[in-house]
Structure 1
Amino acid sequence: MIRITLIGSGNVAQHLIKAFSKSEAVEIVQVFSRKKETLSSLIDYDKIVNDFEDLKEADLYIIAVSDNGIAEVSQNLPFNNQLVVHTSGTASLNTLDNKNRRGVFYPLQTFSKNKDIDFSVIPICLEAENTFDFRILDTVAKSISNAVFPINSEQRKALHVAAVFVNNFTNHLYQIGQEICDANQVSFEILKPLIQETAEKIKTLDPIDAQTGPAKRNDSSTIEAHLEYLNNENQKNIYKILTQSIQHNGKKL
């Protein structure tokens, strides 16, 4: 059984605690949290520490903190030559202090504290400095997920940028759609089957083949009508940029 210590108390850390707690291949030795009460409902209180000097020996230390905090946390760890990884989509493996063996354990998913997730379908991207450490990460990842991939730092950066487009930007467009509905006393619920079908289509079609709408059809009269209707300049600019991008098939404008 692989002994794990988690460092962090945010969304990613909390979901990892839940996932690892169900795994028979790993044991959570400790969790580091500056505020112990944050995690008291997820793990035994005596396993939560808030002083780096209280960290016990483990096979793997997973730093699940904001990107800005990774370097400082790794520098503060009071040991050497242990396997230490971070969970960031953008931070390089070299962000970690080289006094320890370094790696990356990146679950590619959007995490919210109050939304349970099936970890078995979440892709986990792994990187390590040697084969031995990679095998440890691979075993840990496969104990909670059926989708594990070796991904280097440059590939991970590309994935994270792509993820921002398909997740964060898309969700922002949902918000704009809801604002337009709310402003006109129309239920946003009416759009949810359309949102679901759009997501379902790319399971069998490439996004470029699934594209529909006035921009795809070059329906200039509808596009002009929409632009005339929109009186929010931010919404109008986004509409224009996305329309142009679709019309150019994603090529440089």
Structure 2
Amino acid sequence: MIKIVLLGSGNVAQHLLQVMLKSADIELVQVFARNKSSISHLITKEQITSNYQDLKEADLYIISVSDNAIAEVSSNLPFENRLVVHTSGTSELSVLDDKNRKGVFYPLQTFSKSKAVDFSTIPICLETENERDYKTLGTLANLISKKAFAISSEQRKSLHVAAVFVCNFVNHLYEIGNQICDDNEVPFEILQPLILETANKITELSPKEAQTGPALRKDTKTIEKHIEFLKDSNYKEIYTLLTQSIQNV
């Protein structure tokens, strides 16, 4: 049984909280939350505190807050030489206060409070200062996921940048496609099988091998028609930039 104190109540924290509650081998001792009402529907009020001095003893303290708040939360912890980790994709190990042992427990996934996720498929990126603490994080990772990786701070930074491209930017392109459909009274759902097939295809092919479309074919007449069709100057610029990027790879 591994004892956990979770500090935070945002998207990532709430998903971690829920998956930990499902494991018979994890004891969620306590949750620190400034806004208790945000998680009161998930655990009892007795398990929630907003006072650092009331934090209970545990094997592991997970700080799951915004990147800007990690250092403040870490420095306010009223104890020393315990294992404290954060869940950030971009913050280094060094952002944590030196008074405690440091680590990173980064689940690489997009989280929304209203959308359940299967944690068993989520890669967990781990980093610690020593082997003993890595084993602790590895034990927790293996209890909630089938995929755990030793990833340094620099590697994690590169992963996070790559994730912005393949997730956040791609989702924004979905929104542009959705807007184009709405403007022309076309159901966006017609594009959904195409979106799913494109995502599934890169589990078997490299993204370069999976690339199709007028940019790859250098179909200049089609490209010109598309740019002419687009009335929004921002959409025109994005279309042109992505077309050039595909052709330059």
Q: CA RMSD in A?
A: 0.5
Aligned to 2:97: 97
Q: Deviation at 1:182?
A: 0.4
Tell me which residue corresponds to 1:128.
128
Matched residue type, 2:59: D
CA separation in 1, counterparts of 2:210 and 2:224?
Answer: 23
Please give the secondary structure, in 2, of the residue aligned with 1:143: helix
1:26 positional shift: 1.4
Per-residue deviation, 1:38? 1.0
Amino acid of the residue matched to residue 7 of structure 1? L
Distance 1:128 1:244 in 2: 41
CA distance in structure 1 between the aligned counterparts of 2:77 and 2:173, rounded to whole angstroms: 41
**1:113 counterpart residue number:** 113
SS in 1 for 2:144: coil
Aligned to 2:12: 12
Structure 1 position 134, deviation (Å): 0.3
- Residue in 2 that maps onto 1:57: 57
Residues 105-139 of structure 1: per-residue CA shift (max 9 Å, x gap): 00000000011111000000000000000000000
Runs of 5+ consecutive residues of structure 2 not aligned to the other structure: none
- The offset of 1:47, in angstroms, is 0.4
Matched residue, 1:86: 86
State how far apart, in whole Å, the 2-side matches of 1:138 and 1:44 are. 28
Unaligned runs of 5+ in 1: none
Aligned equivalents of 2:243 and 2:37: distance in 1?
Answer: 48
Q: Give the residue type in structure 2 aligned to 1:134.
A: Y
TM-score for both structures, normalised by structure 1: 0.98
Structure 2 distance, partners of 1:103, 1:51, is 23
**How far, CA to CA, are the matches of 2:235 and 2:52 in structure 1?**
47
Equivalenced residue count is 249
Q: What's the counterpart of residue 246 of structure 1?
A: 246
For residue 25 of structure 2, what is the aligned residue in structure 1?
25
Cα distance in 2 for residues equivalent to 1:99 and 1:136: 19
Question: 2 CA distance for matches of 1:71 and 1:80?
Answer: 15
Asked whether the 8 Å contact 1:24–1:143 carries over to 2, the reply is no
> Which moves more between the two structures, 210-219 or 35-44?
35-44
Superposed, 1:98-177 pairs within 5 Å as: 98-177=98-177
Distance 2:35 2:97 in 1: 24
Q: Distance in 1 between matches of 2:52 and 2:233?
A: 50
Alignment partner of 1:48 is 2:41: no
* 1:138/1:148 contact within 8 Å kept: yes
1:9 corresponds to which letter in structure 2?
S
Deviation at 1:25, TM superposition (A): 1.9
Q: Measure the CA separation in 1 of the matches of 2:131 and 2:152.
A: 13
Deviations for 1:191-232, whole angstroms, at most 9, x for unmatched residues?
A: 000001000100100000000000000000000111111110
Shift of 1:36: 1.2
CA–CA separation in structure 1 for the residues paired with 2:39 and 2:163: 28
1:107 maps to amino acid: P
Q: Where does residue 74 of structure 1 map in the other structure?
A: 74
Q: Give the counterpart letter for 1:44 in structure 2.
A: T
Question: Which stretches of structure 1, 4 residues or more, deviate above 2 A after TM superposition?
Answer: none
**Superposition pairs of residues 186-225 of structure 1, within 5 angstroms:** 186-225=186-225
Which amino acid in structure 2 is aligned with residue 243 of structure 1? T
Partner SS state of residue 171, structure 1: helix
Structure 1 letter corresponding to 2:25: A
Residues 42-87 of structure 1: per-residue CA shift (max 9 Å, x gap): 1121000011111011110000000000001000011111100000
Q: What's the secondary structure of 1:70's corresponding residue?
A: helix
Q: Report the Cα distance in structure 2 between the residues aligned to 1:208 and 1:74, rounded to whole angstroms.
A: 42
Deviation string 1:159-216 (CA, Å, 9 cap, x unpaired) is: 0000000000000000000000000111101100000100010010000000000000
Q: Tell me how far apart the structure 2 counterparts of residues 154 and 160 of structure 1 sit (CA, whole Å).
A: 10
CA distance in 2, matches of 1:215, 1:246: 6
Please give the secondary structure, in 2, of the residue aligned with 1:113.
coil
